[in-house]
């Protein structure tokens, strides 16, 4: 695809803007680790919340959505839509608790909640695990996605595309710290949203409008080219005559597991690392809560439908991905639509929108990963007494190392959506522990260690089986590209959850009651500092703050109505279902009114 001078001007202007922001904030960010990693805990809700949205809006996201839609259909998005249920835990409970904790990283809390060597070991292990293994996989798939877009749009090979993207993001991240990340996130989110909406409008218009698009998809469905569930928001229940094996292989069984097990069992149930980082950067508890609620609304409702629309158009225009881009698989559908329909200026804008989304996510993961390695390992265990500027310098060195390693992971990764699934499986057994450690005194460090290790070990075993089976079949192996086959059944992510989660719960419950509880002094200190509410017995005496659990259940239901109502109202509006649209918007409005009247308006500004 040929970019015009106007397109290159738009791309170059954005890169210069981003680097300019990095230079502007470089001196402020270099003052201390609190400035470099948390912007001095001084940010308002709208800035914090938009930064949360921007950092989860990466170049990989529309490509993964395209893989879902071109694969089993719109309903497959319940793989991440289900996480709203835990996202509301983050907004309504944990945003306020993390702000009360006054820690630099979430791992630092571990040596407040737990004590002794187990707490120190857990802190170091989780810091290394998330900063290195988890971060390499996430940044790898984000770089992979951006390289895929660049390869299609600019007609360059993926290696070249990877290193160009890496160089731009790295330079910016080194300069700005968290200040630059948050400020540019505002611009990056706006550009990325505008770009995706423009592309959706142009793509739908190019195929004759939404009604024509739906007719063409229906025709393709009748020929077997398109999956019969492509346009369904919820997959159909299998027929009553289906046997048990058929049921557990059905899309509906996957949907059930997503909404009943997945949302409370994963590693981000109390917010998740870089979301927690933003909660702790807010001015106060009210700003932290409002920021996280705005993030959930934008993340789960506002931004997904333009991507779904483009994915549907890609099925009609490219029912089979051209051989020239077959290496990229189904995710190539999105950039191919960009290449096919965008004119002068719009091509540059869409490239910038992807670059903006890419930089926002990569810079966040670099800053967050460096905060773990510096605050929770280097400063805690290696060099305890040093100046703030020394720790900032070490943070920048670690940032470079993280970036280079992630680029090599990206080269060896094929499927973005499969990498998503691998990450969820690795943390699938720890979610309940992360919730209960705030509200139940009996949880100890060994509880968390055993839950996390069980999930990691089982998930890696599944991947080793997949690797052995792939090699034995004579096919080349790519990270997360194939599902392991056991007893003749391809073990998909929902099957893995049904093995990992119960096993982990059994293990961590046994370990909890076979090991000693934390000391009374540790438990008393933790509760008096944070005062979350829950089952704390005598340790809760003398509390002065209102427990965050008060009125939680009805607030949680209101949040579900607000965001799912808004999400599916947009989807029904897009497909022309006026009656459903009005009802769902009304449910969303009632949910917002309840939250405002019963919670948000009553918190101190």
535, β-bridge pairs: 440
Nearest one of 111, 126, 124, 95 to 525, comparing CA atoms:
111
Range picked from 168-182, 390-404, 521-535 for highest mean pLDDT = 521-535
Please say whether the beta carbons of 281 and 544 come within 8 A. Answer: no
Average pLDDT over residues 357-382: 88
Beta carbons within 10 angstroms of residue 393's beta carbon: 14
- If we measure between CA atoms, which residue out of 134, 116, 95 comes closest to residue 422? 134
Same domain membership, residue 464 and residue 391: yes
Q: Which of 234, 192, 206, 221 shows the shortest CA–CA distance to 313?
A: 206
Residue 93 lies in a domain: no
The answer to whether residue 294 sits within a structural domain is: yes
**3-state SS assignment for residue 492:** coil
1 contacts 153 by C-beta, under 8 angstroms = yes
Chain center to CA of 408: 21
Does 310 share its domain with 440? Answer: yes
* pLDDT over 70, % of the chain: 93
Least confident range from 2-6, 428-432, 473-477, 598-602: namely 2-6
> How many residues can be counted in the chain?
605
Out of 85-99, 127-141, 283-297, least confident range: 127-141
Question: What is the CATH number for 451?
Answer: 1.20.1730.10
104-116 tens-digit pLDDT: 899 999 999 999 9
pLDDT reported for residue 208: 93
Residue that terminates a domain, selected from 490, 518, 546 = 518
User: What pLDDT score was predicted for residue 417?
Assistant: 60
Question: In terms of domains, do 389 and 333 share one?
Answer: yes
Q: How many domains does the chain have?
A: 2
CA angle 552, 556, 560 (to 5 degrees): 175
> Residue 490's beta-bridge partner residues?
485
Mean pLDDT of the chain: 86
Give the tokens for residue 545.
């703050």
Q: Is the pLDDT of residue 225 over 80?
A: no
Residue 207 pLDDT greater than 80, yes or no: yes
Contact assessment for residue 195 and residue 41, using Cβ atoms and an 8 Å cutoff = no
Q: Measure the CA angle with vertex 247, ends 246 and 251; round to 5°.
A: 105
Q: If we measure between CA atoms, which residue out of 406, 22, 402, 281 comes closest to residue 177? A: 22
Rounded Cα–Cα distance for residues 103 and 530 (Å) = 11
pLDDT, position 29: 64
Look at residue 158 and tell me whether its pLDDT is greater than 70.
no
First to last CA, the chain: 51
pLDDT at 96 over 70: yes
pLDDT confidence tier of residue 566, bands split at 50, 70 and 90: very high
pLDDT in tens, 470-512: 888 888 877 677 888 887 778 888 888 889 999 999 999 999 9
Q: Say if 90 falls within a structural domain.
A: no
Among residues of the chain, what percentage have pLDDT more than 90? Answer: 44
One domain, residues 374 and 500: yes
Domain co-membership, 316 together with 446? yes
Q: Are residues 405 and 454 in the same domain?
A: yes
Question: How does 251-277 read in b/e, with b if 16+ C-beta sit within 10 Å?
Answer: bbbbbbbbeebbbbbbbbbbbbbbbbb
Yes or no: say if 479 and 412 are a contact pair by the CB < 8 Å rule: yes
d(CA 336, CA 340): 6
Q: Residue 58: pLDDT above 80? A: no
> Which of 113, 132, 106 lies closest to 447, judged by CA?
113
Query: Does residue 500 share a domain with residue 605?
Result: no
pLDDT tens-digit profile of 458-473?
A: 999 998 998 999 888 8
Answer yes or no: are the C-beta atoms of 437 and 274 closer than 8 Å: no
Beta carbons within 10 angstroms of residue 421's beta carbon: 19
Asked if residues 150 and 417 have their Cβ atoms less than 8 Å apart, the reply is no
The dihedral formed by the CA atoms of 128, 132, 135 and 139, expressed in degrees to the nearest 10? 170
| pLDDT value for 190 | 87
Query: Closest by alpha carbon to 193, among 306, 333, 280?
Result: 306
Same domain, 604 and 502: no
Q: What is the mean pLDDT of residues 213-234?
A: 81
Instruction: Check residue 1 and give its pLDDT.
Output: 53
Helix (H, G, I), strand (E, B) or coil at 198: helix
- The band of 246, judged by pLDDT with boundaries at 50, 70 and 90, is low
Residues 464 and 560 in one domain: no
Q: Is the pLDDT of residue 191 over 80?
A: yes
pLDDT number for residue 8: 85
The reply to whether 604 and 514 lie within a common domain is no
- Are both 385 and 498 inside the same structural domain? yes
Q: Does 310 lie in the same domain as 459?
A: yes
Helix/strand/coil for 440: strand
Number of H helices, E strands in the chain: 28, 2
Average pLDDT over residues 571-599: 96
- Write the DSSP assignment of 465-487 as a string of letters: HHHHHHHHTTPPP-BT-S--EET
pLDDT band at 291; cut points 50, 70, 90: very high
| pLDDT exceeds cutoff 80 at 75 | yes
Q: Say what the pLDDT of residue 326 is.
A: 63
**Is the pLDDT score of 154 beyond 90?**
no
Query: What does the buried/exposed string (b/e) look like for 471-488 if buried means 16 or more CB atoms within 10 Å of the residue's CB?
Result: eeeeeebebbbbbbeeee
Residue 99 is assigned to a structural domain of this protein: no
> Cα(480)–Cα(417) distance, rounded to whole angstroms?
9
Pick from 56, 322, 345: which is nearest to 189 by CA?
Answer: 56
> Looking at residue 31, what DSSP letter applies?
S
Q: Region 30-57: what's the mean pLDDT?
A: 84
Of 66-75, 206-215, 452-461, 540-549, the one with minimum mean pLDDT is: 540-549
Q: How many whole angstroms separate alpha carbon 535 and alpha carbon 515?
A: 19
Residue 301: inside a domain: yes
Q: Who has greater pLDDT, 120 or 223?
A: 120
Q: Which of 80, 416, 427, 415 is nearest to 258 (CA)?
A: 80
Considering only CA atoms, give the Rg of the chain: 24
3-class secondary-structure state, position 55: helix
How many Cβ atoms sit within 10 Å of the Cβ of residue 427? 25
Query: Residue 86 and residue 64: Cα distance in Å, rounded?
Result: 21
Q: What is the pLDDT of residue 512?
A: 97
What would the mean pLDDT of 281-302 be, rounded to a whole number? 94
Show the CA angle centred on residue 53, arms to residues 52 and 57, nearest 5°: 120
**DSSP symbols for 513-561:** HHSPPPPHHHHHHHHHHH---SB-GGGGTT--SPPTTTTHHHHHHHHHH
Alpha-carbon gap, residue 519 to 532, rounded angstroms: 18
Domain of 309 in residue numbering reads as 5-80+107-518
Q: Is residue 491 part of a domain?
A: yes
Which residues have a Cβ under 8 Å from the Cβ of 15 and sit 6 or more positions away?
168, 355
Confidence of residue 245 (pLDDT cuts 50, 70, 90): low
Q: SS3 for 486?
A: strand
pLDDT digits (tens, 9 = 90+) for 501-545: 999 999 999 999 999 999 999 999 999 999 999 999 899 887 788
Task: Write down which residue in 495, 518, 541 finishes a domain.
Answer: 518
Asked, for residue 528, whether it belongs to a domain, the answer is no
323 located within any domain: yes
- Kindly tell me the sign of the dihedral angle through the C-alpha atoms of 98, 103, 107, 113: negative
């Amino acid at each position: 695809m040929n970019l015009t001078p106007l397109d290159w001007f738009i791309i170059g202007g954005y890169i210069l803007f981003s680097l300019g922001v990095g230079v502007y904030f470089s001196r402020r960010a270099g003052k201390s680790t609190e400035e470099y990693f948390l912007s001095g805990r001084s940010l308002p809700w709208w800035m914090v919340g938009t930064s949360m949205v921007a950092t989860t809006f990466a170049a990989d996201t529309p490509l993964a959505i395209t893989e879902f839609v071109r694969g089993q259909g719109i309903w497959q998005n319940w793989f991440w839509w289900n996480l709203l249920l835990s996202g509301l835990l983050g907004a309504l409970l944990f945003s306020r608790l993390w702000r009360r904790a006054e820690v630099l990283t979430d791992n630092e809390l571990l040596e407040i909640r737990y004590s002794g060597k187990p707490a120190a070991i857990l802190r170091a292990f989780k810091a290394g695990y998330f900063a290195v293994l988890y971060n390499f996989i996430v940044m790898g798939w984000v770089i992979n996605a951006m390289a895929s877009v660049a390869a299609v749009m600019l007609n360059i090979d993926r290696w070249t595309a990877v290193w160009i993207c890496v160089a731009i993001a790295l330079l910016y991240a080194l300069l700005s710290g968290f200040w630059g990340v948050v400020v540019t996130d505002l611009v990056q989110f706006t550009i990325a949203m505008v770009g995706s909406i423009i592309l959706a409008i142009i793509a739908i218009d190019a195929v004759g409008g939404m009604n024509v698009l739906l007719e063409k998809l229906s025709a393709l469905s009748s020929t077997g080219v398109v999956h019969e569930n492509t346009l369904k928001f919820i997959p159909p229940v299998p027929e009553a005559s289906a046997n048990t094996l058929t049921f557990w292989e059905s899309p509906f069984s996957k949907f059930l597991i997503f909404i009943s097990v997945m949302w409370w069992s994963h590693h981000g149930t109390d917010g998740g690392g870089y979301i927690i980082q933003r909660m702790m950067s807010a001015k106060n508890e009210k700003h932290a809560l409002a920021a996280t609620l705005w993030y959930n609304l934008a993340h789960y409702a506002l931004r997904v439908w333009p991507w779904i629309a483009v994915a549907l158009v890609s099925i009609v225009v490219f029912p089979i991905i051209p051989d020239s881009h077959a290496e990229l698989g189904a995710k190539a559908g999105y950039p191919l639509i960009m290449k096919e329909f965008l004119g002068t200026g719009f091509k540059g804008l869409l490239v910038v929108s992807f670059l903006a989304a890419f930089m926002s996510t990569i810079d966040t993961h670099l800053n967050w990963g460096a905060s773990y390695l510096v605050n929770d390992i280097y400063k805690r265990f290696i060099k305890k007494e040093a100046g703030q500027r020394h720790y900032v310098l070490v943070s920048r060195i670690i940032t470079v190392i993280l970036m280079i390693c992630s680029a090599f992971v990206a080269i060896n990764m094929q499927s973005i959506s499969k990498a998503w699934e691998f990450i969820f499986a690795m943390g699938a057994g720890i979610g309940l522990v992360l919730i209960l450690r705030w509200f139940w005194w009996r949880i100890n460090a060994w509880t968390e260690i055993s839950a996390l290790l069980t999930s990691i070990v089982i998930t890696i075993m599944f991947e080793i089986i997949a690797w052995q089976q792939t090699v034995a079949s004579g096919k080349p192996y790519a990270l997360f590209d194939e599902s392991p086959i056991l007893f003749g059944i391809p073990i998909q992510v929902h099957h893995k959850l049904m093995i990992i989660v119960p096993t982990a719960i059994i293990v961590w419950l046994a370990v909890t009651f076979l090991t000693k509880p934390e000391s009374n002094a540790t438990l008393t200190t933790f509760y008096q500092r944070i005062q979350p509410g829950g089952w704390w017995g005598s340790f809760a005496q003398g509390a002065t703050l209102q427990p965050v659990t008060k009125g939680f259940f009805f607030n949680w239901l209101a949040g579900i109505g607000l965001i799912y109502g808004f999400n599916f109202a947009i989807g029904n509006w897009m497909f022309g279902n006026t009656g459903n649209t009005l009802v769902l918007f009304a449910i969303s409005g009632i949910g917002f009114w309840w939250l405002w009247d019963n919670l948000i308006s009553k918190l101190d500004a």
